[in-house]
Structure 1
Amino acid sequence: MSASTSESVPPIAAGKKIIVIGAGIAGLSFALSLCKQWPTSTGHEFPSVTIYERDTKEARTGREGYSLSIRSDGLSGGMQVLHRLNLLERILRASISFAGNGSFNLWNTTWESVLVRVYLGNGTTDECDILIAADGASSKIRTQLRPADRLTFSGVVCIGATSRFDSAEAIPRPVNRDWGAVLGGGGVGLFVSPVDSRSALWCVSYTTDQPREKMRHPLSEDQVKFLLTEALERGNHFSEPFQTLVRATDPTTLMVFNAMDKQPFRHDSTASPGMSSIIYIGDSNHAMSAFAGNGANMALLDGWDLAEQLCGTDSLAAALRAYDEKSIPRSKTAIRWSRWVISMMHATGWKLFLYTLLFKAVMLLMRWRK
C-alpha cells in the first residue's frame, strides 16, 4: 500500500474507534480537525470518536491565573488552524485584542514601554483502536507508559492570580488593554494581562535551583496573606499598578507553580500493537512552560496535523512518521524560545541593558520598514 489514500483505499482511521483523553485545546483541536478533513466523497466510514475529560465545569475554580496566546507567526500558526476550523472569528470576538484593541508589550519597572507596541473514574473501562493522549503536561497516560519521560524544571517559580475590579474603568492602566512582561525587576519577572471587562491577571516569577511545592485553591487565610506579602516583597522593584493588582487579588485564583517543560519524543511504530496505537499530542508530548507563549498554538497545530495524517494515510506507521516530522521540530523551537524568554525576563546588569537595546533596535527597524 502507498502512504497516501485513494477512493478504494480507506484512511487508517476509517471505521476505527478513537478515544481522546483530555478535552483541552489539543484534544478538541484533533476532534474538530478530524471532522473538517475527513474525505466524505470517498464513502469511507467516519471513525467513532469518544472524548473523556477529568474535570467538571465547576472544577475550573482555582485554575485561572494564566493566559493563552494565539498567534499567526511562522512558528506558532494557531490562528491559521482556527481559520481552517471556521472558528477564528468567534475566537477573535472573545479575545483581548479584539475587545480592547490592546497589544503585547514590554515595560520597564515604571511601566514605560520598552516596545512600541483507560480506566475511567467511574470504575468502567473502554476500548479503542487508537488512543489519543491529550491530557496535558502532567499526562497520566505518559506517566504510566513512559515513566522515565518526565517534566524538567526550567529554573523558575511563579506566584500568580487574577485580580477583580468593580468596573472596566477600575482596571489600572496599562493593564486595562495591553498585556506583556515588565523588565528590570532585579532578577524578578512580571507578566500582566487583562482577562475581561473586570479582571486582569498578574504573575511574579523568580529564578531558583529547586522547584517549590505547588499551591492552589483552597488556601487558608494565612496562606493567602503570606503569598500576597511574598509577591509584593519579591516585586518591590515594580511601581504601580503592580501593587493595586496584588491588592485586588481574588484569593480563589492565587497559586504557586513551577515553570516546567519537556522535550518531544518520536512515536515508535515498531512497538507492540497496543503501544503503537497510543498517540501523544500537545503538552502530553512536548510540555511548554508558561513563558513559551506557544502551548495553545502547538496544541492546535498538533490536532490539525494528526487529523490530516489519519484522514489521508492508510498506514498508522506512516501517519505517525509524517506527524512527528511536523510536530517535533516546531515544539523543540518553541521550548528553546521559552528558555530564552526566561533569561530575558529575569535579566540584570549588562544582560538587561543588551536586551533592552535589542528590543528598541528591532522596533526602530520595524518603523523604518513601514
Structure 2
Amino acid sequence: MDRPKSLSTESSSKFLCGKTVLVSGGGIAGLTFAVAIAQLFAHESSTAARPKVIIYERDSYENRIGREGYTLSLRTDNNPGAIQVLDLLDLYELVRSVSVHSGGLAEERGSFNIWDPQFRPFLRFTAQPVGPKMLRGMRIRRNALQKVLADAAVRSGAQILWETAVTGADSTEDGRMRVSLSTGLTAVGDMLIAADGSRSKLRSLLRPNDPLNYAGVYIWSGIAKFASRDDIPKPVDRDWGGVLGADGIGLFVAPVDDKSALWALSRQSPVVKESLRYPIPQGRLVELLEESMRLAENFAPLVKNLISATDPSTVIQLNAMDRPPFPHPSLEHRPVVWIGDANHAVSPFAGNGANMAIMDAWDLANALKKASTLEEAITAYDKVAVPRASSVLKFSRWTIDLLHATGVKLFLYKVVLRVLGFLTQTTPSHD
C-alpha cells in the first residue's frame, strides 16, 4: 500500500480536497475559516472531495455567544476588508441585521471620532458605502458576531466540538498533525490551524519564544446600562471614538446597543497591573469605580453619567498586550498555520483585531484553494497577512501614544489633528 502523501508534498492543484483540517479555537478567526473553506470548495463535484473541518473550542456554545458584549468595528478599508469578506461569505446582511442601530438611517449608525475632553471633535470619520452593493462598515457586539459565525460554520458542514480544548500537538511520521484534547482523546488531521487567540496554547507549546509584549498601558472599563436609548448621553448614543488631552488619561467610548454604552479608561504604567474580571472582590470593585469617577473630572459630565450607570458585572481591568506577526517557516514536517491573534496579537487600541481575524481566515482559505502545495499556499498567505498585521501593530502603538500624550507632544498632536479635521471635512472617508 502506498504511504499517504502529506499536504506539503501533494502535487495536485486540489491538494486540500478530501483532507481533514483541524482548527484549535472557535473564535472569529476559526469560525470564519470554516465558513470560507466550505464556500470556496462548495462546487466540488463530489461531497467526499470537500475538505473536512473540525473545530475544537474550550468554551461551551452558550458561554461563547453569551459573553463579551462589548462592541467592535467591522471595516471596509482593505481589499477585501472584513465587511467585503462577510459579503463574499453571504453573511453581510445577516451580520448587519444584528449590528448596533441596524435599522436606522445611515447617519443614525454613527461615526468614529477623536474628541477633546469636552467631546468637541478634532476628527470625525463617517464610513462611506463601497462597491456596487454599497457595503458599509458597522459596530456590532462581539457575541452577536460570534453567534452568526458559529451558526454559519455549523450550516457549512464544519464539526464544532464545544468544551474541548487542544492541549498538545505533534507531527506524525507521514507529515500529518496529531492533537491531544482536554477530553483525554487524540485526533489526527492533515493540517492544523492555530486560531486560539492572543494567549494561544499552541503558540506557547510550539513557538515558546514568541510571547506577548506589554504595550505599556493598562485599561479598565465597564458597560453603562440605561432605561432607553434617549437616556444614553449624547454623542455616545450613536458615535464612538477616543478622547485625548486629559492629563495623560485615555478614554474610549462606544454604544453597545439601544440601552447601553461602553466606557474604557487607560493610563500608562511601567509595570503590568492585575487582571480583573467578574466576579471582582467588592472592595477592589469599589476602588476601581471611585477612581474612575475621580478621573472623570478631566472630561465632560457625560463621562460621570456613564460611570455612575455601570453594571458592576461588566467591569474589567486588563493590560494592553501585543506581539508582531511572524511568517511561517517550512511546513514540510509540521503543517501548522497560525491566524488571527494567535499569530499577531494586537491591543484594543488597534481597533482592528476582529477585522484581521476575518481577513486572515479568508486569505488563508483562498490561498489553500488556489495553490498546488501547502508551501505555495502559505507563502501567498504570509505575503498578504504579515505586512498587514505589521501595519496595524504600528498604528496601535501610535494610538496609545496619541491618547496618553501630554505637554509639547500633545500640543503637536492637536495641531496635526485640527489640520486633518479640516481636510477631511471635504474628503469623505471609507472608514
Match of residue 102, structure 1, among 73, 97, 110: 110
1:80-159 to 2 correspondence within 5 Å? 80-96=84-100, 98=102, 99=104, 100-117=108-125, 118-159=179-220
2:22 alignment partner in structure 1: 19
Please tell me whether the aligned partners of residues 61 and 252 of structure 1 are also in contact (alpha carbons under 8 angstroms).
no
- Shift of the 62–201 alpha-carbon distance from structure 1 to 2, 3 Å rule, reads farther
The yes-or-no answer on 1:330 pairing with 2:330 is no
What's the CA shift for 1:211? 1.0
2:310 alignment partner in structure 1: 249
Which structure dedicates a bigger proportion of its chain to strand? 2
Match of residue 186, structure 1, among 217, 225, 247: 247
Partner-residue secondary structure (3-state), 1:226: helix
What's the CA shift for 1:284? 0.1
1:5 alignment partner in structure 2: none
- Shift of the 92–270 alpha-carbon distance from structure 1 to 2, 3 Å rule, reads closer
Partner-residue secondary structure (3-state), 1:92: helix
The yes-or-no answer on 1:72 pairing with 2:133 is no
1:62-118: per-residue Cα shift (whole Å, max 9, x none)?
Answer: 953643211111388111111111112222232236444211112111122222453
Q: Percent identity?
A: 43
Match of residue 204, structure 1, among 247, 265, 283: 265
Partner-residue secondary structure (3-state), 1:15: coil
Paired AA for residue 245 in structure 2: G
- Shift of the 65–39 alpha-carbon distance from structure 1 to 2, 3 Å rule, reads closer
Please tell me whether the aligned partners of residues 109 and 183 of structure 1 are also in contact (alpha carbons under 8 angstroms).
yes
Paired AA for residue 382 in structure 2: D
1:319 alignment partner in structure 2: 377
Paired AA for residue 39 in structure 2: K
Please tell me whether the aligned partners of residues 62 and 254 of structure 1 are also in contact (alpha carbons under 8 angstroms).
no
Please tell me whether the aligned partners of residues 220 and 264 of structure 2 are also in contact (alpha carbons under 8 angstroms).
yes
**Structure 2 residues not aligned, in runs of 5+:** 1-10, 126-178
Work out the CA distance in 2 between the residues paired with 1:333 and 1:215. Answer: 30
Partner-residue secondary structure (3-state), 1:214: coil
* More off after superposition, 46-55 vs 97-106: 97-106
Partner-residue secondary structure (3-state), 2:279: coil
- Shift of the 369–166 alpha-carbon distance from structure 1 to 2, 3 Å rule, reads closer
Work out the CA distance in 1 between the residues paired with 2:80 and 2:231. Answer: 33
Name the count of aligned residue pairs: 361
What's the CA shift for 1:59? 3.2
Work out the CA distance in 2 between the residues paired with 1:122 and 1:58. Answer: 19
* More off after superposition, 357-366 vs 326-335: 357-366
2:294 alignment partner in structure 1: 233
What's the CA shift for 1:61? 9.5
Paired AA for residue 87 in structure 2: H
Work out the CA distance in 1 between the residues paired with 2:96 and 2:111. Answer: 13
2:407 alignment partner in structure 1: 349
Work out the CA distance in 1 between the residues paired with 2:393 and 2:112. Answer: 20
- Shift of the 95–47 alpha-carbon distance from structure 1 to 2, 3 Å rule, reads same
Work out the CA distance in 2 between the residues paired with 1:369 and 1:192. Answer: 25
Please tell me whether the aligned partners of residues 12 and 373 of structure 2 are also in contact (alpha carbons under 8 angstroms).
no
Work out the CA distance in 1 between the residues paired with 2:348 and 2:299. Answer: 21
1:320-345: per-residue Cα shift (whole Å, max 9, x none)?
Answer: 11111110000000000000111111
**Structure 1 residues not aligned, in runs of 5+:** 1-7
RMSD, matched Cα: 2.2
TM-score (norm 2): 0.79
Paired AA for residue 184 in structure 1: G
- Shift of the 312–263 alpha-carbon distance from structure 1 to 2, 3 Å rule, reads same
Match of residue 299, structure 1, among 357, 376, 383: 357
What's the CA shift for 1:220? 2.1
Please tell me whether the aligned partners of residues 74 and 355 of structure 2 are also in contact (alpha carbons under 8 angstroms).
yes
Paired AA for residue 416 in structure 2: L
Partner-residue secondary structure (3-state), 2:408: helix
Please tell me whether the aligned partners of residues 111 and 124 of structure 2 are also in contact (alpha carbons under 8 angstroms).
no
Please tell me whether the aligned partners of residues 39 and 311 of structure 1 are also in contact (alpha carbons under 8 angstroms).
no
- Shift of the 25–60 alpha-carbon distance from structure 1 to 2, 3 Å rule, reads closer
Please tell me whether the aligned partners of residues 70 and 256 of structure 2 are also in contact (alpha carbons under 8 angstroms).
no
Work out the CA distance in 1 between the residues paired with 2:188 and 2:21. Answer: 9
1:236-287: per-residue Cα shift (whole Å, max 9, x none)?
Answer: 311211111111111111111000111111112156x2x2x11100000000
Paired AA for residue 279 in structure 2: P
Runs of 4+ in 1 over 6 A off after TM superposition: none
Paired AA for residue 52 in structure 2: S
Please tell me whether the aligned partners of residues 37 and 51 of structure 2 are also in contact (alpha carbons under 8 angstroms).
no
Match of residue 309, structure 1, among 343, 354, 367: 367
